[in-house]
Structures are given as structure tokens and as C-alpha cells.
Amino acid sequence: MVCACLTAPPRACRVAVYRVYRVTPAACGSGVAEAVRDGTSGSQADGELNGMDFAWSDQQRELLDAVGRFASQQLNYNVIENDRDSVFNHDAWKKCGSFGIQGLPVPAEYGGLGMDPLTTVAALERLGYACKDNGLLFSINAHLWTAVTPLVYNGSEAQKKKYLPGLCNGTIIGGNAMSEPNSGSDAFSLTTTAVKKGSRYIINGSKIFVTNGPIADLLVVFATVDKTRGPDGISAFLVEKDSPGMNVARKLEKMGVRTSPMAEVFFENCEVPEENLLGNEGGGAFLFTRSMTWERGCILASAVGSMQRLLETCIRYANERKQGGQAIGKYQLVASKIVDMKVRVESSRHMLYHYGWLSGHRKAVYLEAAMTKLHIADCWVKCCEDAIQIHGGYGYMTEYEVERELRDAIGSKLYSGTSEIQRNIIASMLGL
């Protein structure tokens, strides 16, 4: 008996205690972390297994395969040229729309597929694996998480009926306008104003880094109705392209995801009908926080696919390329890089799926979304660096399509909250 206790404690003695944090999203948006202790015993009752199933259903597998086939055969043309010339692939966007990508998480009654978050992120991962145009995927992500999701959650019935079917089938391109020249990480310090005048709101201010700005048909614009109310004054508005007073100015040149257009947008006495208020007046900060949580959790799903593709490319290259009389993969320094890539892909994928599972089961995901985003962004950039290193001089050449991945990946540490902001969120959720 004594021996047994010393060598290995019986399973029932091991009590796994982990913390689940529930966020009460306060209007200030920073969220008040409420720690809930949830103790579960590691023991299992008489052969009963706890629910943890990593298998895809036949239907999920069928769907994921279809996404892979579609993307690999329909979306990978002119990628190098479009990246060089900063050209958005409209045709590919429309194909994605009619195929069903933009409708993945949208309820069927509004023209979507009504997929749960786990299936959605897995489909986006497969899309990222099979489609090499990261800019197109970035535009799709911006569309899904900053325009579609807020509409699904906060839109009125009339707004959903009006916009969601088009947003799903590829005929309407969405985006949001939040960041301002002087309000980035401190998002709720925005200064764009919305003043109610009769049955309209008059919006004034300027927005920067508006993803899809030059191509968007519909923008979710954040403005304050009362600066003195702080975050409680922030409201969201659905602003259609060509609204009087809205001016999509300078298209912004950037380092990566160059096929996803970005612009600065000015509002000068831009009139928006009151029925285009999204959610409640003053509800914008909460709406933004919720859509950001979705975005953080899902936006790098395609990056996991991209990493998997890079991993396979590197394995192939390391087996084919011979130096010093042997395949370079036989050199431990090369093999070790590839091993690290593999571990990064797998850990990223598990965090992504776990986020998707939690989200689908309506569990709190504020913390998990931030961790998922932080981890995948780090892994993606490191994978790309290693992939270039493994390919040597060839990896630095555009035609090998590895250097573009690095340029595309680096932005992931900046958008949807910088890696520093993700760390702040995680620290605050840990009670620090």
C-alpha cells in the first residue's frame, strides 16, 4: 500500500483545478474579470468516459474536403502579381461568396450556412491551407468578424434581412471603421462624433487602417454620441458606400496582405438614417468588444492552414535539396527547425479548435480568444522565418512564395489588438 502511494498516487487523488473566467462586459469594454473556481475530479466513474472527442463527423469532413478542393483549384491565380501590384481579387471574392465561405457562421434564415464556431474555424483553416492569397483571406476575415458578426448579434430584424444575404453570397463587401489616427490600442478614446438631427445622425471624423475600405459596400462605423460619457457614448452605425459626406481617401500601401485593400476614410457631415444605428445608442463599445473577441479567436484560423502548408513545403524541400552529399533535412539544424514548425502548427491548431469548441458551447472565451490570437501570430511569424531560412537564398526570392508569407504574417501581431494588447488582456484575466 505504502509503496503504491509513493510511486503513483491513485487517479482519484489527483484533483485538477482550473480556473474559468467569466467576463461581464462592462460598457467600458475592458471587461471585469470574474473568476469562477471550477474544481473537477480527475477520477472517472465506473468506466464512464468524459466527453472529449477530437474526431470530425463525416459531414464535417465532407465540408472541409470541399473547401480544400474549391480553394486549391479556384483561388490561386495571379497571387504573385496581385501582391506586387496590391490588387484585390474581386473574382475570387465572388467565387468564395457563391461557394459559401462568407456565409459560414451566419444563420441559414439570413442566407448563411449556420455553422458552429468549431466547424467555421476548421473550414477557414482549410481555406488558409489551400488558398495562397492571404490578403483575400484577410479581407474575408475582416468582413466576417467586423461587419457580419455584429449584424448577426446586434442587428435589427430589418437590418439583418437587408444586408446579411448579400454579405453571405459575395455581393456586399463589409468592413469596419474603428481605429483613428490618434486612437489605436486605446480604441475607446475615439473622437469621431455622431449627432442626432431629426431622423438622421450626422457623423464627423476620420478613420484609419480601414480594411476593405476601398472596396466595401457597407462599413460598421464607430462614433461617439456624447464624448463626456466616455465608452458609454460610443455607438455603431451601418454606413453604405457612397453615403453623402463619406470619403474613402488614400489607399494605404503596406508591407503584407497587399491584396487586401486598406484606406483612410473621412466623414464630413455624413448623414446616416437613424434606422442604421446598429444596436443601441451607447452600445457600441460592447458591440465592438464582442466582435473583437470573435475576431481574435477566428482571424488566424487561416494562418494555421498557412503554417501547415509551409511545413509541408519545407519538408519537401528539405528532402529534395542536397548539400554536402545529403538531403539538407538530414542536418539536425534544419530538422530541428522543421520539428519546431510542426509543434507550432499543432499547438496553434489545438488552441484554435479549443476556442471554437468553447465558443460553440457558449462558454466564456474572452481569455481564450486573446491567447489563441497571441499564440498563433507568434507561431506564424516564426514559421515563416524558419521557412525562409530552410529555403536559403531561394526562400528570399518572390517566385518561391515563401517571403510573401512572412510579409503577410507580420501584420498578425498588430491587427485585432497588438500582441502587447493580447498580453494585457491575458494579464488582466489572470487578476494582474
Partner 1 sequence: MKILVSFKSVPDPNDVTIAGAAVSTPKSVINPFDEIAIEEALRIRERAEATEIVGVTIGAPAVDEQIRAALAMGVDCAIRIDDSRALDPYAVARILSAVVQKEAPHVVIMGKQAVDDDSNQVGQMLAGLLGWPQATFVSKIEFLDNKTRARCTRETDAGLEVVEVNLPAIITTDLRLNEPRYVSLPGLIKARRKPIEALTCDQLGVTVRPLTTVLSIARPPKRAAGTRVESVEELITKLKQEAKVL
Positions marked catalytic: 295
Q: Least distance from C-beta 56 to partner 1, angstroms?
A: 15
Q: Least distance from C-beta 70 to partner 1, angstroms?
A: 6
SS3 content of the chain, % helix, strand, coil (to 5): 55, 20, 25
Q: Nearer Cβ to partner 1, position 92 or 341?
A: 92
Q: Least distance from C-beta 222 to partner 1, angstroms?
A: 31
Q: Please, what's the b/e burial string for 98-126 (b: 16 or more CB within 10 A of its CB; e: otherwise)?
A: ebbbbbbbbeeebbbbebbbbbbbbbbbb
Q: Nearer Cβ to partner 1, position 68 or 329?
A: 68
Pairing of strands 218-224, 174-177: parallel
User: Under DSSP, is residue 175 helix (H, G, I), strand (E, B) or coil?
Assistant: strand
63 scored as a contact of partner 1 (CB under 8 A): yes
Q: Nearer Cβ to partner 1, position 64 or 402?
A: 64
66 scored as a contact of partner 1 (CB under 8 A): yes
- Find the binder of partner 1 among 72, 74, 247, 347 (CB under 8 A): 74
- Find the binder of partner 1 among 70, 286, 288, 294 (CB under 8 A): 70
Q: Nearer Cβ to partner 1, position 164 or 263?
A: 164
Task: Choose the binding region for partner 1 from 23-31, 70-78, 383-391, 394-402 (rule: CB under 8 A).
Answer: 70-78
Q: Please, what's the b/e burial string for 173-204 (b: 16 or more CB within 10 A of its CB; e: otherwise)?
A: bbbbbbbbeebbeebbebebbbeeeeebbbbb
Structure-derived torsion over alpha carbons of residues 280, 281, 284, 285, reported in degrees to the nearest 10: -110
Q: Which grid coordinates belong to 398?
A: 518572390
280 scored as a contact of partner 1 (CB under 8 A): no
Read off the amino acid at residue 276: N
- Find the binder of partner 1 among 24, 41, 43, 98 (CB under 8 A): 98
Q: Nearer Cβ to partner 1, position 98 or 182?
A: 98
Q: Nearer Cβ to partner 1, position 74 or 428?
A: 74
- Find the binder of partner 1 among 27, 113, 202, 351 (CB under 8 A): 113
- Closest by CA to 95, choosing from 163, 175, 171, 174, is 171
100 scored as a contact of partner 1 (CB under 8 A): yes
x-marked contacts with partner 1 along 232-271 as a string, rule CB under 8 A: ----------------------------------------
Residues forming beta bridges with residue 427, ordered by sequence position: none
Cell 481564450 belongs to which residue? Answer: 368
Residues forming beta bridges with residue 239, ordered by sequence position: 219
What is the rounded CA–CA span in Å between residue 266 and residue 264? 7
- Closest by CA to 180, choosing from 151, 142, 210, 159, is 210
Q: Least distance from C-beta 100 to partner 1, angstroms?
A: 3
Q: Least distance from C-beta 123 to partner 1, angstroms?
A: 8
105 scored as a contact of partner 1 (CB under 8 A): no
Residues forming beta bridges with residue 201, ordered by sequence position: 196, 272
- Find the binder of partner 1 among 93, 99, 222, 317 (CB under 8 A): 99
What is the rounded CA–CA span in Å between residue 412 and residue 117? 20
Q: Least distance from C-beta 53 to partner 1, angstroms?
A: 21
Q: Least distance from C-beta 110 to partner 1, angstroms?
A: 13
Residues 40-59 that bind partner 1 (CB under 8 A): 59
- Find the binder of partner 1 among 5, 38, 57, 62 (CB under 8 A): 62
Other C-beta atoms lying within 10 Å of the C-beta of residue 409: 28
Q: Least distance from C-beta 301 to partner 1, angstroms?
A: 16
Centroid of chain to Cα 257 = 14
What is the rounded CA–CA span in Å between residue 414 and residue 430? 22
- Find the binder of partner 1 among 31, 103, 256, 305 (CB under 8 A): 103
User: Under DSSP, is residue 220 helix (H, G, I), strand (E, B) or coil?
Assistant: strand
Q: Nearer Cβ to partner 1, position 41 or 57?
A: 57
Cell 499564440 belongs to which residue? Answer: 375
67 scored as a contact of partner 1 (CB under 8 A): yes
Binding residues (CB under 8 A) for partner 1: these are 59, 62-63, 66-67, 69-70, 73-74, 98-101, 103-104, 113
